[in-house]
Amino acid sequence: MAGRKFKCSLFAVLQAGDSVTGAALDPLNAPRINLRLAPPWVANLVSLIADVRQKVGARAGQQGGGGTLTRAQQNLVHQVTVKVAKARKTARRAFKGNLVKLHSEFLVNKPAHNTGDLLGNARIVSASLKTTDNAAAVKTKGWLDADTASLDQAIGAAADSLTSADNLQHDEVGATAFVNTEANQVYDEILDLQNVADLEFPEDDPANVATRAKFLLGVFPPTDSSDPTPPTPTGPAPAKP
Protein backbone atom coordinates (compact mmCIF):
# COMPACT_ATOMS: atom_id res chain seq x y z
CA MET A 1 0.00 0.00 0.00
CA ALA A 2 1.35 3.39 -0.97
CA GLY A 3 2.34 5.48 2.02
CA ARG A 4 2.02 9.18 2.61
CA LYS A 5 5.05 11.29 1.84
CA PHE A 6 4.17 13.95 4.41
CA LYS A 7 4.54 13.75 8.17
CA CYS A 8 1.81 16.19 9.17
CA SER A 9 -1.80 15.04 9.32
CA LEU A 10 -3.96 14.70 6.23
CA PHE A 11 -6.34 17.17 7.86
CA ALA A 12 -3.54 19.74 7.96
CA VAL A 13 -2.73 19.14 4.28
CA LEU A 14 -6.35 19.57 3.19
CA GLN A 15 -6.73 22.68 5.33
CA ALA A 16 -3.56 24.12 3.80
CA GLY A 17 -4.89 23.26 0.36
CA ASP A 18 -8.05 25.22 1.02
CA SER A 19 -6.01 28.24 2.13
CA VAL A 20 -3.52 28.35 -0.75
CA THR A 21 -6.07 27.66 -3.48
CA GLY A 22 -8.34 30.31 -1.99
CA ALA A 23 -5.45 32.77 -2.13
CA ALA A 24 -4.66 31.76 -5.71
CA LEU A 25 -8.26 32.28 -6.80
CA ASP A 26 -8.50 35.69 -5.14
CA PRO A 27 -9.15 38.20 -7.96
CA LEU A 28 -6.21 40.27 -6.72
CA ASN A 29 -3.79 37.35 -7.05
CA ALA A 30 -5.24 35.15 -9.78
CA PRO A 31 -3.86 37.06 -12.82
CA ARG A 32 -0.30 36.76 -11.52
CA ILE A 33 -0.66 33.12 -10.50
CA ASN A 34 -2.22 32.23 -13.86
CA LEU A 35 0.83 33.60 -15.68
CA ARG A 36 2.87 30.75 -14.19
CA LEU A 37 0.21 28.06 -13.73
CA ALA A 38 -2.21 28.29 -16.63
CA PRO A 39 -5.89 27.64 -15.90
CA PRO A 40 -7.42 25.28 -15.00
CA TRP A 41 -4.41 24.23 -12.89
CA VAL A 42 -5.69 25.76 -9.65
CA ALA A 43 -9.26 24.63 -10.31
CA ASN A 44 -8.02 21.08 -10.83
CA LEU A 45 -6.25 21.19 -7.47
CA VAL A 46 -9.45 22.40 -5.81
CA SER A 47 -11.29 19.42 -7.32
CA LEU A 48 -8.59 17.01 -6.20
CA ILE A 49 -8.74 18.34 -2.64
CA ALA A 50 -12.52 17.89 -2.62
CA ASP A 51 -12.15 14.35 -3.94
CA VAL A 52 -9.66 13.35 -1.24
CA ARG A 53 -11.79 14.98 1.46
CA GLN A 54 -14.83 13.05 0.29
CA LYS A 55 -12.95 9.76 0.24
CA VAL A 56 -11.78 10.09 3.84
CA GLY A 57 -15.16 11.29 5.04
CA ALA A 58 -13.94 14.75 6.09
CA ARG A 59 -16.52 16.97 4.44
CA ALA A 60 -15.63 20.64 3.87
CA GLY A 61 -18.24 21.74 6.40
CA GLN A 62 -16.52 19.73 9.12
CA GLN A 63 -13.07 21.33 8.91
CA GLY A 64 -11.44 21.61 12.27
CA GLY A 65 -13.97 19.24 13.81
CA GLY A 66 -16.65 21.92 13.81
CA GLY A 67 -19.47 20.93 16.15
CA THR A 68 -17.41 18.13 17.72
CA LEU A 69 -14.71 20.11 19.46
CA THR A 70 -13.94 19.25 23.04
CA ARG A 71 -14.37 21.89 25.71
CA ALA A 72 -10.58 22.35 25.84
CA GLN A 73 -10.41 22.84 22.08
CA GLN A 74 -13.28 25.32 22.17
CA ASN A 75 -11.42 27.31 24.82
CA LEU A 76 -8.24 27.41 22.72
CA VAL A 77 -10.15 28.56 19.65
CA HIS A 78 -11.92 31.19 21.77
CA GLN A 79 -8.57 32.55 22.91
CA VAL A 80 -7.54 33.06 19.29
CA THR A 81 -10.84 34.80 18.54
CA VAL A 82 -10.43 37.16 21.49
CA LYS A 83 -6.81 38.05 20.67
CA VAL A 84 -7.56 38.64 16.98
CA ALA A 85 -10.47 40.90 17.94
CA LYS A 86 -8.17 42.98 20.16
CA ALA A 87 -5.57 43.21 17.38
CA ARG A 88 -8.19 44.41 14.92
CA LYS A 89 -9.57 46.92 17.42
CA THR A 90 -6.06 48.33 17.86
CA ALA A 91 -5.53 48.40 14.09
CA ARG A 92 -8.73 50.37 13.67
CA ARG A 93 -7.33 52.95 16.07
CA ALA A 94 -3.93 53.02 14.39
CA PHE A 95 -5.20 53.12 10.79
CA LYS A 96 -8.45 55.02 11.19
CA GLY A 97 -10.01 55.59 7.77
CA ASN A 98 -7.51 53.39 5.90
CA LEU A 99 -10.08 50.82 4.81
CA VAL A 100 -7.80 49.18 2.25
CA LYS A 101 -5.21 48.30 4.88
CA LEU A 102 -7.80 47.30 7.46
CA HIS A 103 -9.59 44.98 5.05
CA SER A 104 -6.60 43.50 3.20
CA GLU A 105 -4.06 43.19 6.01
CA PHE A 106 -6.17 42.90 9.16
CA LEU A 107 -9.20 41.29 7.49
CA VAL A 108 -11.60 43.59 9.32
CA ASN A 109 -15.22 42.50 8.75
CA LYS A 110 -14.11 39.23 7.12
CA PRO A 111 -16.07 36.39 8.72
CA ALA A 112 -14.60 32.97 9.50
CA HIS A 113 -16.93 30.16 8.48
CA ASN A 114 -15.05 27.42 10.31
CA THR A 115 -12.02 26.94 12.52
CA GLY A 116 -9.78 26.55 9.47
CA ASP A 117 -10.81 30.01 8.29
CA LEU A 118 -10.39 31.42 11.79
CA LEU A 119 -6.82 30.18 12.16
CA GLY A 120 -5.91 31.22 8.63
CA ASN A 121 -7.24 34.72 9.23
CA ALA A 122 -5.44 34.89 12.57
CA ARG A 123 -2.11 34.04 10.91
CA ILE A 124 -2.62 36.84 8.38
CA VAL A 125 -3.40 39.34 11.14
CA SER A 126 -0.30 38.22 13.03
CA ALA A 127 1.89 38.61 9.94
CA SER A 128 0.49 42.08 9.35
CA LEU A 129 1.25 43.11 12.92
CA LYS A 130 4.90 42.24 12.36
CA THR A 131 5.64 44.49 9.39
CA THR A 132 7.88 47.39 10.32
CA ASP A 133 5.39 50.15 9.54
CA ASN A 134 2.41 48.38 11.07
CA ALA A 135 4.28 47.41 14.22
CA ALA A 136 5.34 51.00 14.78
CA ALA A 137 1.80 52.28 14.23
CA VAL A 138 0.04 49.85 16.56
CA LYS A 139 2.62 50.51 19.27
CA THR A 140 1.40 54.12 19.37
CA LYS A 141 -1.96 52.69 20.41
CA GLY A 142 -0.53 50.48 23.15
CA TRP A 143 0.05 47.22 21.28
CA LEU A 144 3.28 45.45 22.28
CA ASP A 145 5.45 42.84 20.59
CA ALA A 146 4.48 40.64 23.53
CA ASP A 147 0.84 40.91 22.43
CA THR A 148 1.75 39.62 18.98
CA ALA A 149 3.77 36.81 20.54
CA SER A 150 0.77 35.91 22.70
CA LEU A 151 -1.42 35.77 19.59
CA ASP A 152 1.08 33.47 17.88
CA GLN A 153 1.16 31.22 20.93
CA ALA A 154 -2.64 31.00 20.97
CA ILE A 155 -2.73 30.15 17.25
CA GLY A 156 -0.14 27.43 17.72
CA ALA A 157 -1.93 25.90 20.70
CA ALA A 158 -5.28 25.84 18.88
CA ALA A 159 -3.78 24.42 15.69
CA ASP A 160 -1.93 21.69 17.60
CA SER A 161 -5.11 20.76 19.42
CA LEU A 162 -7.23 20.64 16.27
CA THR A 163 -4.73 18.44 14.46
CA SER A 164 -4.35 15.97 17.32
CA ALA A 165 -4.81 12.28 16.69
CA ASP A 166 -8.07 12.21 18.65
CA ASN A 167 -9.63 14.90 16.46
CA LEU A 168 -8.35 13.41 13.20
CA GLN A 169 -9.75 9.93 13.30
CA HIS A 170 -11.03 10.46 9.75
CA ASP A 171 -7.44 10.54 8.55
CA GLU A 172 -7.20 6.77 8.56
CA VAL A 173 -10.68 6.08 7.19
CA GLY A 174 -10.38 4.61 3.73
CA ALA A 175 -6.61 5.08 3.70
CA THR A 176 -6.10 2.91 0.63
CA ALA A 177 -3.12 3.12 -1.67
CA PHE A 178 -5.26 5.09 -4.12
CA VAL A 179 -6.29 7.66 -1.52
CA ASN A 180 -2.71 8.02 -0.33
CA THR A 181 -1.55 8.55 -3.91
CA GLU A 182 -4.09 11.35 -4.35
CA ALA A 183 -3.18 12.83 -0.98
CA ASN A 184 0.48 12.85 -1.97
CA GLN A 185 -0.43 14.62 -5.20
CA VAL A 186 -2.35 17.27 -3.24
CA TYR A 187 0.68 17.80 -1.01
CA ASP A 188 3.06 18.12 -3.97
CA GLU A 189 0.80 20.55 -5.80
CA ILE A 190 0.35 22.71 -2.70
CA LEU A 191 4.14 23.05 -2.60
CA ASP A 192 4.17 23.85 -6.34
CA LEU A 193 1.58 26.58 -5.81
CA GLN A 194 3.50 27.98 -2.85
CA ASN A 195 6.64 28.09 -4.97
CA VAL A 196 4.82 30.13 -7.60
CA ALA A 197 3.51 32.48 -4.91
CA ASP A 198 7.01 32.85 -3.52
CA LEU A 199 8.26 33.85 -6.97
CA GLU A 200 5.42 36.28 -7.63
CA PHE A 201 5.27 37.82 -4.15
CA PRO A 202 8.88 37.93 -2.88
CA GLU A 203 9.50 38.38 0.81
CA ASP A 204 11.80 41.37 0.33
CA ASP A 205 8.78 43.54 -0.55
CA PRO A 206 6.91 44.55 2.65
CA ALA A 207 3.73 44.99 0.60
CA ASN A 208 3.62 41.22 0.11
CA VAL A 209 3.41 40.25 3.78
CA ALA A 210 -0.35 39.69 3.90
CA THR A 211 -0.42 37.92 0.54
CA ARG A 212 2.42 35.58 1.51
CA ALA A 213 0.59 34.77 4.73
CA LYS A 214 -2.48 33.74 2.74
CA PHE A 215 -0.32 31.26 0.84
CA LEU A 216 1.01 29.97 4.19
CA LEU A 217 4.59 30.69 3.15
CA GLY A 218 6.84 29.93 6.07
CA VAL A 219 3.95 28.24 7.89
CA PHE A 220 3.20 25.16 5.79
CA PRO A 221 4.56 22.58 5.73
CA PRO A 222 5.53 22.64 9.41
CA THR A 223 9.27 22.64 9.84
CA ASP A 224 9.23 19.10 11.19
CA SER A 225 6.92 17.64 8.53
CA SER A 226 8.73 18.21 5.26
CA ASP A 227 10.03 15.33 3.21
CA PRO A 228 13.02 13.84 4.96
CA THR A 229 16.34 14.50 3.30
CA PRO A 230 18.38 11.33 2.96
CA PRO A 231 21.74 11.44 4.70
CA THR A 232 24.77 12.13 2.56
CA PRO A 233 26.57 8.85 1.93
CA THR A 234 29.96 8.73 3.53
CA GLY A 235 32.77 6.39 2.66
CA PRO A 236 35.51 5.06 4.85
CA ALA A 237 37.89 7.58 6.32
CA PRO A 238 40.89 8.15 4.07
CA ALA A 239 43.95 6.23 5.06
CA LYS A 240 46.60 8.26 6.82
CA PRO A 241 49.79 8.66 4.79
What pLDDT score does 156 carry? 87
Q: How many angstroms separate the CA atoms of 167 and 73, rounded?
A: 10
Which residues touch 143 (CB under 8 Å, ≥6 apart)? 87, 90, 94, 129
Cβ atoms of 1 and 177 closer than 8 Å = yes
pLDDT in tens, 122-162: 888 898 899 899 999 999 999 999 999 999 999 888 888 87
pLDDT in tens, 74-96: 889 899 999 999 999 999 999 99
Instruction: Give the domain ranges of the chain.
Output: 1-57+173-224, 66-169
Identify which of 3-17, 91-105, 191-205, 221-235 has the greatest average pLDDT. 191-205
Question: How big is the CA angle at 24 (ends 181 and 45), to the nearest 5 degrees?
Answer: 20
- Residue 191: pLDDT above 70? yes
47-51, 176-180, 194-198: segment of lowest average pLDDT: 176-180
Mean pLDDT of the chain: 81
Q: Which residue has the higher pLDDT, 114 or 227?
A: 114
pLDDT in tens, 23-63: 999 999 999 999 999 999 999 999 999 888 877 753 333 44
What pLDDT score does 92 carry? 94
